[in-house]
Structure 1
């Protein structure tokens, strides 16, 4: 009976049915196939309970903050500041793309949203400077994977909610890995710049640098307030999202005067639409997880993996391989919601810190944005930058290799991830 449910799941997936509907339909089919229709009346309550969590309130608030910052001209100033700062060195515009993505990661927290926005901004600019369109698109996409690592991070919020792990601790744990990814991609650009003789941009004057710095200061308030507020204990990660939205509104409306009242309805509609998409997926994944628990699949996997090896290093290697493969065919958030209940008993059995494991699993699934056939980031950038999908996949390969290399460093160097949370006692 169970094999029929599995076949239905993958059949719906390959028919390009939205993953949220795949999860819901598969669960309902399971109830009918195994004859557990008595569970159907409890399903609406399960859907609700999947969303009845205070931590999830941070998702719409951070999305609102990102929309307000886009509408208020904050993101464009961050990109401009990065360009003034290092745009004059060889391959400067490529470095700007990485640095700007790191700035924006502290605002958006969504790799897909960041890839879409930066593709519109940076790919045409890099093409004007003589960069290859495929390389520009691949760099923009690869750089966007730091968005779910540097706080705030929507994927960390979901993992923290599902696992009962400190969201503030996850936010702090993502800082050093995010910087490592930035350094890794910058090193790769330096090598490619030397190999292909990238061009230099005009050096900005001291006055232009100072003007740009003063202009971007209000924009930097948002990530500063989020991190400082959590570190100081002034507010929780969820409360910091509300504060960030308020600050983004004030900066865009009063300081930059680009956030007009006529933009507010559109900003709210975008926020509600994005939030509804994510929360609907979480609700459906909750009943899917209910089905998995009913079949005792997590217990079976725990038994199987512990029988393979009792070494946590081997376990983490197997987890990375599994997640990289799953990330190529499943949406990252959906995979996270499905897998966390499965993995939590395992990391307890192997004595792995849940914060460290959260960073590993979130980076793994974010790398899935770069991997065919279902890497959503590839489809987004391919469409916006008007690059053929297969050419973009080929151009992305060096960044994918670098991303996986850094992933394994983070996996086996726990101190790099846990240094800040341990110092803060999170």
Structure 2
């Protein structure tokens, strides 16, 4: 996932400021922006804590006391939508929405400034378009009463309206603070010309049937994404424009579909697993696992490279977030690997490829999303992802072995048996955590949504009682970071769901399914084409929006070919991870470069051997389904 850190955002924001001293208006905007931060970040942090408490309490009462709380899921759903929208507002403030930055990175400062203004204008357009439909949707939901809490559903639906208004306010403040008013007007003029052109072309677009989808979704969406507009906003603008011009549907249906896409209860595990990933870095659980692996194989040629792959495999089983995985592992290993003579580019190639390898290790957020939008068993996906990831890890190990044969490890001391035993004892509580998570889901103690709360409580207890590295002052920033990243992810799910609904209503879904069903080569041809298609989608759209858009369309086709749904899901995720972490378009690759602080040009050439090994592993999994179907 491509999410800008607050530090990067600050740099971007600073580059957009005028060289002159801030005006009175800018100072006022800055003060209001700081108050807005408090207004959104404090409630969002409280909501994350409340969700953890509600879900864990539900597990205790249902499994421990055999007295299920009938209202817990309903309350969690209400709080969840508010968390999604407040998180989206925070992400807009921090510049943390997922977007493709390759074009902006290749331009000079002046043109980056213009693209920033254009991106801001697109966000403004979307929220202005969505406010009235959100108000209509909220009013409609007032007539519905929730069964357990017996309150109007408008209390929950109001979150989308409030979030949209707050996001518009954030955009206006950003325009003032960054002095991009002139560029914004130019961007609005461009969008006005495009709107006029579409209006004039409406008679023609209405007569060409579904070919008009190429204009709205095949042209507008890619142009907005390439220009650097947030992916979620690009989806939303295209969908609203298409429905407003080509159909008689009320635009409140877009808000309804967004609500459906963001409110699925199983998705509540996403912010909780993100927080868990941040916790294991803060509390040192990741560090003790790395220390154990280093004691075991750190003295071998390429030893720390093996440690990186193994650590990514273990940590992915805890955090569920590739960004959290890389951020937890890189600061621990990369400095020592550099000291031992590893090239910086090779380090990033290995870091990004190991993150791609680990995408199917539970509790992967992408696996949870697949299960949510396609109905595939999440417990089955959690079981099915382990062996394919292990096969990919073996491929990376083979590449490391070949590239490390001439490494000089003469000065590296081999750990004694006593040191290894001590490292094992220290790491044992951390090593148990992935087993606890998987056992809780498979045994039925907790659902895929609830198990994240168990992992958080376990991590907190271990850090307080055993590791004694729980930093209370860091909890607030971690909770806010969780809300921001969750909002950036979940608003994509919302607008992508609306876009997928529009494509389905147009009849495109049936046409695509028929075309894919007729692919030459039957089952094998369909699998091969799926690998290519999802690798491309993974590099352009990232895993989550790609699976939300195309998963419901292609999974039924796979079933018609007799392909097991779990096997196909694992194949899809493996393919998307290849695209996500492969340069030059893979956003995850650039994220790895940012975490490792290495110029992408130095790392690009080093990725290919590792990615080739993962591609071979993906092909093997496609040809041998039982690798993804243990116990089935």
Q: TM-score, normalised by structure 1?
A: 0.94
CA deviations over 1:86-139 (Å, ceiling 9, x no partner): 111111111111111111111122223323433333222210111111111211
Whether the aligned pair in 1 keeps the contact of 2:286 and 2:329 (CA below 8 Å) is no
- In structure 2, what is the Cα distance between the partners aligned to 1:310 and 1:182? 30
- For the structure 1 residues 11 and 30, does the alpha-carbon distance in structure 2 shift closer, same or farther, using more than 3 Å as the test? same
Q: Which residue of 2 aligns with 1:216?
A: 427
- Map 1:305-384 onto structure 2 (within 5 A): 305-309=516-520, 311-384=522-595
Q: Which has the higher contact order (CA 8 A, sep 6+)?
A: 1
Q: Which residue of 1 aligns with 2:299?
A: 88
Stretch of structure 1 that moved more, 155-164 or 143-152: 143-152
- Match of 1:236, SS? coil
Q: Does 1:77 align with 2:291?
A: no
- Match of 2:342, SS? coil
Q: Which residue of 1 aligns with 2:317?
A: 106
CA deviations over 1:39-63 (Å, ceiling 9, x no partner): 3022222211112322112112211
Q: Does 1:139 align with 2:346?
A: no
Stretch of structure 1 that moved more, 61-70 or 185-194: 61-70
Q: Which residue of 1 aligns with 2:233?
A: 21
Deviation at residue 219 of structure 1 after TM alignment: 1.0
**Please, what is the CA RMSD of the aligned residues?**
1.6
Deviation at residue 230 of structure 1 after TM alignment: 2.5
- Match of 1:147, SS? helix
- In structure 1, what is the Cα distance between the partners aligned to 2:600 and 2:533? 24
- In structure 2, what is the Cα distance between the partners aligned to 1:409 and 1:292? 33
- For the structure 1 residues 385 and 69, does the alpha-carbon distance in structure 2 shift closer, same or farther, using more than 3 Å as the test? closer
- Match of 2:318, SS? coil
Q: Which residue of 1 aligns with 2:221?
A: 9
Deviation at residue 198 of structure 1 after TM alignment: 5.0
Stretch of structure 1 that moved more, 37-46 or 273-282: 37-46
Q: Which residue of 1 aligns with 2:409?
A: 199
- Match of 1:238, SS? coil
- Match of 2:360, SS? coil
- In structure 2, what is the Cα distance between the partners aligned to 1:98 and 1:27? 41
Deviation at residue 29 of structure 1 after TM alignment: 1.3
- In structure 2, what is the Cα distance between the partners aligned to 1:262 and 1:386? 26
Whether the aligned pair in 1 keeps the contact of 2:441 and 2:448 (CA below 8 Å) is yes
- In structure 1, what is the Cα distance between the partners aligned to 2:519 and 2:428? 53
Q: Does 1:115 align with 2:330?
A: no
- In structure 1, what is the Cα distance between the partners aligned to 2:335 and 2:471? 27
- For the structure 1 residues 13 and 193, does the alpha-carbon distance in structure 2 shift closer, same or farther, using more than 3 Å as the test? same
- In structure 1, what is the Cα distance between the partners aligned to 2:282 and 2:620? 37
- Map 1:130-169 onto structure 2 (within 5 A): 130-169=341-380
Aligned partner of 2:491 among 254, 258, 280: 280
Deviation at residue 37 of structure 1 after TM alignment: 4.8
Deviation at residue 376 of structure 1 after TM alignment: 1.5
- In structure 2, what is the Cα distance between the partners aligned to 1:231 and 1:262? 35
Deviation at residue 168 of structure 1 after TM alignment: 0.6
- In structure 2, what is the Cα distance between the partners aligned to 1:257 and 1:119? 22
Q: Does 1:403 align with 2:614?
A: yes
Aligned partner of 1:49 among 231, 238, 260: 260
- In structure 2, what is the Cα distance between the partners aligned to 1:310 and 1:278? 36
- In structure 1, what is the Cα distance between the partners aligned to 2:439 and 2:492? 31
- For the structure 1 residues 292 and 285, does the alpha-carbon distance in structure 2 shift closer, same or farther, using more than 3 Å as the test? same
Stretch of structure 1 that moved more, 232-241 or 250-259: 232-241
- In structure 2, what is the Cα distance between the partners aligned to 1:353 and 1:33? 40
Deviation at residue 325 of structure 1 after TM alignment: 2.2
Aligned partner of 2:455 among 215, 222, 244: 244
Whether the aligned pair in 1 keeps the contact of 2:584 and 2:604 (CA below 8 Å) is no
CA deviations over 1:188-244 (Å, ceiling 9, x no partner): 1111112x4353632111111111111111112211101222233322222221111
- For the structure 1 residues 109 and 287, does the alpha-carbon distance in structure 2 shift closer, same or farther, using more than 3 Å as the test? same
Query: Who wins on radius of gyration, i.e. which is larger?
Result: 2
- For the structure 1 residues 236 and 137, does the alpha-carbon distance in structure 2 shift closer, same or farther, using more than 3 Å as the test? same
Runs (5+) with no aligned partner, structure 1: none
Whether the aligned pair in 2 keeps the contact of 1:253 and 1:260 (CA below 8 Å) is no
Whether the aligned pair in 2 keeps the contact of 1:288 and 1:338 (CA below 8 Å) is yes
- In structure 1, what is the Cα distance between the partners aligned to 2:249 and 2:526? 38
- Match of 1:16, SS? coil
- In structure 2, what is the Cα distance between the partners aligned to 1:307 and 1:147? 33
